[in-house]
Structures are given as C-alpha cells and as structure tokens.
Structure 1
Amino acid sequence: MSLSVGQISYLNCAPFFHHLARTGFQGELIKGVPSALNRMLHEGRIDVCPSSSFEYACHWQDYFLLPHFSISSFGPVQSVLLFSPCAPDKLAGRDIALTGESATSVNLLRVLLWEYFGVKGAHLAVPAQSSVEELIAQGRPALLIGDRALRGARRFQNQCLIYDLGELWQQFTGLPFVFALWILRRDAALRKGEEIAALNRLLEQSLSLAFASLEEMALTVPENAWLEPENICAYWRCMSYRLEQPHIQGLELFFQLCHKHGLIETLPAMEFFTAQPKPAVQGTVFA
C-alpha cells in the first residue's frame, strides 16, 4: 500500500524532503500549508505529515508520533514573527492580523500575550479583504509565518518592531519551542506499519544528506532566490529537527498553558509509533 505523506511548502521543511526520493521513498507527497495539511490529516486524506503540534494536542487520540523528529527552535526561529507598531504588552484591545496558515503559531502568540505579557482583549483574525502585508505597511500589528515571515522581515525591518515568537518563548521559559511534529494517523499505523517504519529510516537518511551539503541544497531552491544561499543555510541551522527531552519539556509546558487558557480541552499523552507488528504505545499524560 502506498503511503501518502503531507509536505509543508515552506523552506524550513526542505531538509526533510529534498533528498527523500534519493533515499528510496516511493510514496505519494501532497503539498500544502500547515492548516490545510492539518485538516487533511484529521480527515484521513493523508497518512502522515510534519504537522502542527497544536493539531496533535487537539486530536491526539487519533494519532501516533514518529519518534526523534520535529520542527523546533532553541530561540529565534526567524519565520514566526509578530510585526507591531508597539511593544507586545501594549496590544490590549488591538486587532492583530493573521494569515490563517498555522494553528500552532497563532496559539503560541495567544499564550505569550495572555500568560507572559498580561494582554487581554487583543483580537486575532484573518483579514477579510486586505493582505496581512498590506496591513503591516499601514502600521497594523500582524503575525506572519513561514517564507512570508522571512520576506516580511526584510521588507518591514525599518518600518515597525519585529518580535520572533521562538525567541520570546525561550526568553520566558528557557525551553525550545516545537512548532511541528511528525504525526501519523493510528489507522494508517495499523494498515501501513512497514511503510511507516521505512519512512522513519528514510527521513533520518534525508536529514543526514541535507546537513552534509546545505550549501549545495540552498542553490537548488529557486523559489527562494530572493534569499541568499548563505542566509538560507543559516536559517536551516537555526532550526532543530530533533525531538529530545528538552523539546518534550517545551511541548509539555505549551500544552499545559493551552489547557490553562481554554485552548484545548484535555492534556495530551505523547504516544509514539514503534516498528513492531502492532504499534506500541509509550505514553505519559502531561500533568
């Protein structure tokens, strides 16, 4: 059975996917922004995806996690940015424009505003007409993620204040922030266990190939020609693609705060896929 894998169309995912075909992957790749792929994963239209950590928190009973992998940052992430005419603690009652592409980044902003800046009453919404970039140019606060954030940082660097949400999280918590996890559906784990175990191995190989030749890989990303190869490599190096104990601690705190502020109903368990006849569960509920 062919494995259907969601592929986020952002520069930060390139190390997972650039060499994947070279490693022998023969499944189907389905590209999209995080919010669209979250929906497809939840609806069962794809089997596995590097998907929003908030998506896992909302529907963890339907999922397993691939061990070892994430899209995280220990400090600045460079591509999840709040553009604002004022400091975050002055945003009470303001409208903050969103792109609607990532549930994790939006809820991270909510947690930061509510828990650490003491800001209540800010209204976060996708604008009905103007683009987010147009609103930033008009002096309105807004959140950009992914490649649009990288472009926005260059375009608006002298026009407003820019806050990196990964950096803010680390400043307040001392922990990394996990933006995405490799999430697979439980029914896919039961039906396609061998294919998923193979994907886990191929992702490891693909990452190793990528970080052995980042400069070469950066030259092959034409849609990001606006960003110099050395800056692309620096961006990849600022990311963490692993899922280790500090990442788990950061996830635990984020999920606890989401639960505290009513963003999720229950605290999720971390349940990992293992390559056995039936997927084994290694879970502890966050307390």
Structure 2
Amino acid sequence: MQKPLRIGQILYTNVLPVYFYFDQERFEDRIDFIRQVPATLNLAMSRGEIDLGPISSFSYAEHASQYVALSDLSVSAKGRVGSLFLFSKKPIEQLNGTKIALTNTSATTVNLLKIILRKFYDYEISYVTQEPVLDRMLLDAEAALLIGDDAILAMRKKGDLHVYDLGELWHRFTGYSMTFAIWAVRKQVLAEHSALLEEVHASFLTSKEMTRKNPGPLIDYVSTHYGGDKEEWTRYFQGLQHDFGDEQRIGLEYYYRCAAELGLLPAPATVDIWQAGGRQTNTTLTR
C-alpha cells in the first residue's frame, strides 16, 4: 500500500484560507497533516519528514535543488502584513548599534529584518534568538521581532512600544510585494504521488477561492478561537495574498538577491514551479 502523502500546515492563521475548505474526508487515509510552526516545518521538510507544505520562502532558497513550488499558492503581502512586527523601545531611527531579539519560529522574516536594517538603514545590529515571548525578549534587547499569531496577540498589549510592520517597511523601500511562505514539494515524491498531488493542489486552490468569495465563516472561526473583533480579522485577511504570480515572484526574487548580497544566502535562488499535469516552469532572477 502506498504511504500517505505527508502535508505540513503552519500553526498560524495566515495559512487558513488555503486549508479552511480543504476536503480532508475526500482523501481519507491517503494524506496526513502535520501541523507545526514555520521553523519546525522547514527542518522537517529538509529532512524528508514531510512531503509538501508551506515552508518559509527563505528555507525554499536554501534547499532549492530539492524542492519545487506549487503554482499559485503562497503567503504574501504588498505592504502591511499585520502579523510581522518589530516591537521597539525606541524609534527605528535610533536602533543602530543596539541588540534585537529574534523569534525562533521564523526564517524568512528574521532575514527580512536583517536585510531592511543593513541594506536600507545601514545599521550594525547585534541579534539574539529567543522563544517568542515579548516581555522576556525585551529584558535585554532594545527591540524584538515576532511573527504570526504571536505578533497579533502581542500587538493587543503593546503599551507604549514603537511597532513596525515589516511588510510595510519592505514595500516602502522596494515597491515590491513580499512572499513569506511557499507551498513546496520535495522533488523525490513527485513521481510517486503525481496523481494525488494534482488532487491535493486543486483542493488547496478551491479552498483559497471559496474563502476569498465567502470569508465570513473563516472570520467567525478565528475571532472565536483567537479573540479580537471581526473587523480586525477581516482587515488582516484582506491584506494577505495567497496567490503566487508574477508580482509575488518578482518581489521574492529581489529578496533572494538582497539576501545573497548580504551573505545570508550563498547565491540567489531559482524558483521551479510545479503545475497541474506535472509540468514545471523555471524562473530566472531578474530585476
């Protein structure tokens, strides 16, 4: 009997539109969902412990020779994201030479912060990685980076801290959208699960479109389970993009170039896109 397709799911609300209407019963014992924070999913994917899932776009670049990206699926934003925040005791203009605490749950966003502060502000920063608990992070640091639901919850009790949305900062300096996660597939599972992969991909796209057309049930769900009012969550999901077209790809390619320029990646990555029918398209990095 063929082994189930192991599918990762980020433990954050930002991926819920792609999963909310996903028909799990249809696949019965053909798939297994593995739910973890981004950094843990990145590691599991690189070890072959999951077959596909939304991994940090930075992690995709680190393992580009092993992965392909599913077409038309991502977590992206052009401007404000609403869940990627730098919380600071002082204005960002005064952070040069300070210490900043980074969440241990992220790969893409921690490197995005390093790019923004080094390339666009020309700052020298000392970084330390910690558990995502804002009060503890700020005990010995001037600022702290949180992502996902940790950031959303911290924002509600930020007090007099200065708060900066990394999606806004990136867009201000570059004009580009930013892609934080890509649904990637390990190349070695493509042949073994090709037919099933097409079904799963189609179901993800269906869920995304159903949520886009009728977001009400999703908004009700997250406001019940995560608190906050419905208007807050509606604005949040409206600001997110779950597509992966030319606009998202160009912004991500530029991010990879910046990361390579600063030595965060050995070289800019090439994104291979898997589409229905098993076709793959290859993109080269341009600006």
User: Same fold, TM exceeding 0.5?
Assistant: yes
Alignment match, 1:253: 254
Per-residue Cα deviation, 1:15-37 (whole angstroms, up to 9, x for no partner): 11111126834411100000000
Query: Corresponding residue for 1:183?
Result: 184
**Are 1:84 and 2:83 matched, yes or no?**
no
Alignment of 1:89-104 (within 5 A): 89-104=93-108
Contact 1:215 1:229 in 2 (8 A): no
In the alignment, the residues of structure 1 paired with residue 12 and residue 57 of structure 2 have an alpha-carbon distance, to the nearest angstrom, of: 16
Are the equivalent residues in 2 in contact too, given 1:48–1:182 (CA < 8 A)?
A: yes
Counterpart code for 1:110: K
Name the structure 1 match of 2:38: 34
The percentage of aligned residue pairs carrying the same residue is 28
| Equivalent in 124, 128, 133 of residue 127 of structure 2 | 124
* Deviation >4 Å, runs of 4+: none
Letter in 2 for 1:198: E
* Residue aligned with 1:75, SS: coil
Please list every run of 5 or more consecutive structure 1 residues that lacks an aligned counterpart in the other structure: none
The 10-residue stretch of structure 1 (207-216 or 75-84) with the greater mean CA deviation from structure 2 = 207-216
SS class of match (2:259): helix
Q: Counterpart amino acid of 2:23?
A: A
Of 183-192 and 204-213, deviating more is 204-213
Matches within 5 A, 1:1-287: 1=2, 2-21=4-23, 24-26=26-28, 27-120=31-124, 122-127=125-130, 131-136=133-138, 140-156=142-158, 158-221=159-222, 222-224=224-226, 226-276=227-277, 279-286=278-285
Under a length normalisation based on structure 2, what TM-score does the superposition of the two structures give?
Answer: 0.92
Question: Do the aligned residues in 2 keep the contact of 1:218 with 1:233 (CA within 8 Å)?
Answer: yes
Aligned partner of 2:105: which letter?
A: E
> What is the letter of the counterpart of residue 127 of structure 2?
L
Deviations for 1:45-70, whole angstroms, at most 9, x for unmatched residues? 10101110000111100000001111
CA 1:179–1:24 in structure 2 vs 1: closer, same or farther (change >3 Å)?
A: same
RMSD of aligned alpha carbons:
1.9
Q: Which runs of 5+ in 2 are unaligned?
A: none
How high is the TM-score relative to the length of structure 1? Answer: 0.92
1:88 Cα offset (Å) = 2.5
Equivalenced residue count is 281
The answer as to whether partners of 1:9 and 1:31 remain within 8 angstroms in 2 is yes
Aligned-partner residue type, residue 172 of structure 1:
F
Tell me the amino acid that sits aligned with residue 108 of structure 1: L
Contact (CA 8 Å) 1:16, 1:206: kept in 2 or not? yes
